[in-house]
A and B are shown apart, each in its own frame.
Chain A
Amino acid sequence: MAGAAPIFDEMNLADGAVRPAYETLARWLKTIPTDLLATRSREAEALFRRIGITFAVYGDAASTERLIPFDVIPRVLTNDEWVRLSKGLTQRTRAINAFLGDVYSKREILRAGLVPEDLVYRNPAFRPEMNQQPVPHGIYVMIAGIDIVRVDADTFYVLEDNARTPSGVSYMLENREVMIRLFPELFSQHRVAPVENYTDDLLATMKSVAPRSASSDPTCVLLTPGLFNSAYYEHTFLADKLGVELVEGRDLFVKADVVYMRTTEGPKRVDVIYRRLDDDFLDPLVFRPDSALGVPGIMSAYHAGNVTLANAVGTGVADDKAVYSYMPEIVKFYLGEEPILKNVPTWRCREADELKYVLDNLPELVVKEVHGSGGYGMLIGPKATAAEIELFRHKLAKDPSNFIAQPTLALSTCPTLVEEGVAPRHVDLRPFVLTGRDKVRIVPGGLTRVALKEGSLVVNSSQGGGTKDTWVLDS
């Protein structure tokens, strides 16, 4: 990679010294034989198989379900690093909620000319149906997954906001359980901040956003699209941990603008729905008329203020990659603060001069589709063949506003167990930010995803990425 910045390893500094957060772990790694690590790794896999934690990959006919590789070497963050991250995450999520409240009501940011009108109105994730419709307590995104990458000791960037139905939190929780079982000695040598209270936090968040008409002990459910969804395992896992019913659309019905769940004791009123079903499928009376997964009439109950949907409908307009590029302005506009977490520098191909720069520098850039996800439909310039670059040149010329471009980031690496032994591999981090009526809750850490192939920057589980346990050390 010509002219690329040196890669920052979170354990080993360039001069061979070990960063303080990793001192104990580095000593342990020196003493533990690699074949013992490999044995533990196989044990971890066996545990995950027994638990049944799998992930379906769309379009992969050969194996509809497989295990996401788990790396047994944890990733370590210091308390100081975490404090700064969590402040930045809280700020960003507040701004996202303010933005959504605005674009669905007064639209001041559009009037101010800070975000182009068409980027909102013509955005497929914008839901005109939500216009001027209040949501309970004015909160749109109760559950956010903010993807963070690190490039040096001090610099964290937000790579992507996930404000619709972010997944992966079950891996964060399972990874910790498995690590504690396999390496109890490591936990006695480190003061690792716990994550297992995530589901309590989630339940408290859900109850806090119940409609005002709900009882003091609101009924919450988790709505899943069903068995064929790639994250179905996570839905069953979370419903179980939360102690709430896992329901499909057909288990719910609407009468007189109230949502009920069918139970053996008769209909039971539902107040809060943690829905893992996309907007399009929620209500065949409002969105796709052919959806059999949703609940007919649920939007009418929602607009009447009788049920809370978490997340709200239409939140995708805030996590769109084109809107992402305006996030620093969005933070300043609503909060009057400087963003604590930086954006990755982003060129908007919808703007002619930026497009020209992108076309002139394709071999150095990462080009992403504005509405893409899961690492699909992107060009990684430095890794691409001449033919792939030409294909993107053509795509960009044809529909520039569908793309953004970013520099190829030197993502930080962490020690990872691979076939050849322990070696550095690139990582990212998805912390989960819970926004309730009372407060914002973030369990320390999040889900670390790791690109297992040497040199690879694609951490997505659908593209061969794995996960790690993420430790925040109590100071």
Chain B
Amino acid sequence: MRIRIAHETTYSYAVPARSVIQTLRLTPRNYDGQHVSNWRIDVDQDCRLDAHEDAFGNITHTFSCTGPVQTLTVRVDGLVETSDTAGVVRGAIERFPPGLYLRGTDLTTADGDIRAYAEARHHPADRLSTLHALLDDLARDITFDKDPTHSATTAAEAFALKRGVCQDFAHIFIAAARHLNIPARYVGGYFLHDDGTVDQEAGHAWAEAHVEGLGWVGFDPANGLCPTEQHIRIACGLDYLNAAPIRGSRHGGEGEFLTVKVMVDQASRQVQVQ
């Protein structure tokens, strides 16, 4: 499937910022389930994008610009060819052995409630069944709701609310899996909706867990399914903070206002022929 992505993030400041610096994780890499045909990032300021590969194998771009900055737009346009791998992630850049992904983080610490929830779904001899039980039940038990949580909400906080966005679903899944000694990680990316909805308010996030014999397998608890050819994988890490599309800092720039426009659409055959 050919998928076109356009992702525009605009910051505007009531008081112009004196300087802005950001690190972007907005560039996908190839793996068996996806091939990046075309990808570009534009920042509408006078700056240089310095590319690095981070410790998890994600591509980052860091830029800084000197103000006064009234508005700042980061725009991503790309075309990705995907195929369904039943959620199995092969051919991706792996910089760590799975054991690293048992490491706890502040955002993915399992509290007593998450531990009990995980233990109740534990099939000790069958890791895949355990993970599918977590996937199915979290999709049922947690309500998608973008109001009560924010980017710094922990797994435990979201689990107590039984509400959250895809990031919260992923953090809870990761916390539960790690508690059962299953390596698990966070993945940020995009998702093409089935229902023809093209315009979205944000990117997508899910989890991957390590299963002997299969390797890394994706689990998307917000949608209650394993990733398909509708998922575009951008960055991974221990939690959201390692894979966040944009992390930034600024001097001045009080009264920041953020708008995000994400468009994920199936590329037309005509585009393909061109």
A binding-site residues for B, Cβ under 8 Å: 117-118, 121-122, 126, 128-133, 253-257, 284-286, 289, 296-297, 300, 303-304
Contact = CB atoms under 8 A, between A and B. Distances in A.
Given A121-B103, A257-B50, 9 more contacts: A117-B97, A121-B102, A122-B103, A128-B56, A128-B238, A131-B55, A132-B95, A285-B21, A296-B21
B99 A118 contact: yes
Contacts, number: 72
A131 B102 contact: no
A253 B21 CA distance: 9
Given A256-B64, A257-B62, A296 B249 contact: yes
B41 interface: no
B249 A284 contact: yes
A304 B152 CA distance: 29
Given A128-B238, A255-B64, A304-B50, A117 B55 contact: no
Contacts of A285: 21-23, 62, 247-249
B146 interface: no
Contacts of B96: 121, 128, 131
A312 B104 CA distance: 22
B48 interface: yes
Contacts of A289: 152, 241, 247
A263 B95 CA distance: 40
A-side interface mostly: loop
B52 interface: yes
B149 interface: no
Interface in B79-129: 95-97, 99-100, 102-104
B55 A133 contact: yes
A300 B99 contact: no
Interface residues of B, number: 29
Contacts of B50: 256-257, 300, 304
Interface string B28-39: 000000000000
B19 interface: yes
Q: Which of B21, B60, B102, B241 has its CB near the most chain A CB atoms (within 10 A)?
A: B21
10 contacts: A121-B103, A122-B102, A128-B238, A253-B19, A253-B64, A256-B48, A257-B50, A284-B247, A286-B247, A296-B249
A253 B64 CA distance: 10
A132 B54 CA distance: 9
Contacts of A254: 21, 64
Contacts of A303: 52
Nearest to B48: A256
Interface string B166-196: 0000000000000000000000000000000
